[in-house]
Copies of this chain bind each other. A is one copy, B any other.
Amino acid sequence: MEELIRLYHGDGGKHTALLIRELFYKYFGNEMLLQGLDAGVFHTAEGRLAFTTDSFVIKPLFFPGGDIGKLAVYGTTNDLAVSGAKPLYVSAGFIIEEGFKLDELERIVRSMRVACQETGACIITGDTKVVEKGAVDGIFINTSGIGIVDCAYCHKEVKPGDHIIVTGSIAEHGAAIALERYKIPVKGPFSSDCGSVYNIITQLKPYYSGIKLMKDPTRGGLATALNEISEREGMESNICEHAIPIRREVEGICRLLGLDPLYLACEGRVILVVDPDISSAVLQRIKSCENGMGACIIGSFTGRREEVVYLQTNIGGKRILNPLEGPMLPRIC
């Protein structure tokens, strides 16, 4: 490993994975952590509880479609939801720069309440630290969350032929942050997909037996999330470029800024790996949800030859889709 922490150690891609494996797993390694899932799951007499944490350092704090508070609640409750858990309790840890405006803090806190109300989670514990001017850039928020895993749901082995569904058009959170940060004018309304995915997942209860796993493609985007799944499952996957839902505005923004939408974060989408026998029924059910109307089957798992993701391109080619490795937008969540 290198001697200094670089920005890419936090981008959610290859270097973050390396840091986690070579440092955190080395010292903290235990069965639950080593599963490398979005939440640690432990057993109680009540059933399985999921426990997850996320720190939010997003810049700017307010963006089209949300703010750091909304993101902090949904980021954590979505990690619980994709673990098959109903979000119950959330903690809120604030680190605030001296001189931060109280009315902005109030806006953020109000958003957190609204997001909690939507997911049904309660903030039951918290912490506030204030540091001197210059020691933190505005405000950072950590949320941790506890949820109860639906007894009908568990991660299952992915098999060749399993379909890959994404619940809506991708890269909108990343694109919204880029727009706001670089002050790019766009025609018409455009906003982050930041939102809860719990409502979609509860609708899928009748299909839990055929859902192999779920993951939200946040930092590192769709490409990185698919690579993580392929690697963990020891399985090759194949996705079709033309099947991936991307809004025209996002394509335009990405072309303008030289960004690849496949690596840009979503904050309100889920990737599902589903038994092909029920994938169209699952797709229809997702499409019946307000935030699932843009859902698509984008590809499938094809075999155990390699742990890579192949992209069938629009011009008829086929290429390996690597996890995020180069520089991307920092501080998008």
Contacts and interface: CB of A to CB of B under 8 A. Distances in A.
Interface in A16-61: 16, 19-20, 23-24, 27-28, 30, 32-33, 39-40, 42, 44-47, 49, 51-57, 59
Interface string A126-139: 11111110111100
Interface in A82-139: 88-89, 91-103, 105-106, 109-110, 112-113, 116, 122-132, 134-137
A226 to B, nearest CB: 20
A7 interface: yes
A245 interface: no
A67 to B, nearest CB: 14
B128 A7 contact: no
A283 to B, nearest CB: 30
Contacts of A16: 128
Nearest to A40: B124
Nearest to A106: B23
A290 interface: no
A55 B127 contact: yes
Contact of A28 (B11, B24, B97, B109): B109
Interface residues of A, number: 80
A315 interface: no
A28 B116 contact: yes
A2 interface: yes
Contacts of A105: 5, 23
A305 interface: no
Contacts of A99: 4-6
Most buried by B among A98, A112, A124: A124
A186 interface: no
B124 A4 contact: no
A155 interface: no
A39 B4 CA distance: 36
B53 A92 contact: yes
A330 interface: yes
A97 B47 CA distance: 39
A10 interface: yes
A93 B76 CA distance: 12
Contact of A42 (B20, B54, B89, B331): B89
Given A123-B33, A142-B53, A142-B55, A100 B137 contact: no
Contacts of A20: 126, 128
22 contacts: A3-B103, A4-B98, A5-B130, A8-B130, A9-B96, A9-B130, A20-B126, A24-B126, A27-B112, A27-B113, A33-B125, A33-B126, A40-B125, A45-B45, A45-B47, A46-B46, A51-B125, A53-B125, A91-B144, A136-B137, A142-B142, A144-B144
